[in-house]
Amino acid sequence: MKSPANHQTELTGLPILASQSQGWENILVEQFQQPPGEARCHYSDEHTIYLSLAPRPIRLLQIQGGKTHSGLYAKGDISVMPAKMPVFARWDGDDHCLQIRLASRFIQSVATEALAMNPDQLELLPKFRTRDPQIESIGMMLLCELKQENLGGRLYVESLANVLAVHLLRQYSAVKPRLAIYEGGLSEPQLLQVLEYINEHLNQDIKLTDLAQLVGMSQFHFSHLFKQSMGKAPYQYLLQQRVERAKQLLKQTNRSIMDIALECGFNSHSHLSKQFRQFTGMAPRAYRTN
């Protein structure tokens, strides 16, 4: 997501980590560590989730949608802030939090494609301090990915964003949608088409939307059916195939490890090495000479 120009905000500090440089689409993730202070935010085109990472509870005052809430926020507590709703917050201790912003157009797209909702009737409800293990889990996976500089790739982040969007729509919208879960996996022709596409584009930045469009379904349902068919998520299969291609090139050519990394869709020597060790238990150089 490009740095949005659709909001006015006053913050006491800049994020210590942010996903702007990672090329993530539809989702912006920022990690903040701030001394006591206050902030005013107004995001007209993004829905926002605040996830507390504070090691010790802090007292937080929030005003949004004409409602005021004050209480202790502990690690794992979340707030949901719908788009177009001004928010004021004041905290009295050292705050550590994760802010996740999802583009409104993306939420509308997921609502239409995955949940058959009418986007004109879409309304997310504000939520003050609450517990939501699924949002907390997704938030920590996004933070881990941010710290590792996009190691899992865009496909992984897009998968997390889709699951997060569906969860928000199911749990925090005014109209609760029904989620149809399709069973049985992809058909054999669909699966072969997707696997062939992945094989032919291993050196490119494959997007979840590209794979879902091949078989004409939503990204959320595609991911679900692909995992049923293959026993692993699309991003896991993609990483496995990239490592397999690297293994072939290491044994069959004298090309540099950096060249092989780029040919297989990794963005650096170290990126390849880390994934290669995870799958094979050894470094690329050691595998080549073994």
Instruction: Give tens-digit pLDDT for 232-267.
Output: 999 999 999 999 999 999 999 999 999 999 999 988
* pLDDT value, residue 152: 60
- Rg (Cα) of the chain, in Å, rounded? 21
Q: How far, CA to CA in Å, does 18 sit from each of 75, 100, 260?
A: 20, 10, 29
pLDDT at 149 > cutoff 90:
no
Q: How far apart are CA 202 and CA 183, in angstroms?
A: 28
The least confident of 112-116, 178-182, 238-242 is: 178-182
One of 3.90.550.10, 1.10.10.60, 2.30.40.10, 1.10.3720.10 is the CATH number of 236-289, namely: 1.10.10.60
Amino acid at 180: A
pLDDT band at 151 (very low <50, low <70, confident <90, very high): low
Contact 160, 100 (CB under 8 A): no
Of the chain, the percentage scoring pLDDT greater than 90 comes to 71
Beta bridge partners of 127: 80
Find residue 33's DSSP bridge partners: 96
Cβ pair 244, 236 in contact under 8 A: no
Tell me the domain boundaries of the chain: 7-172, 188-231, 236-289
Q: Tell me the fold of 7-172.
A: Jelly Rolls (2.60.120)
Rounded to the nearest integer, the mean pLDDT of the chain is: 89
pLDDT for the residue 22:
83
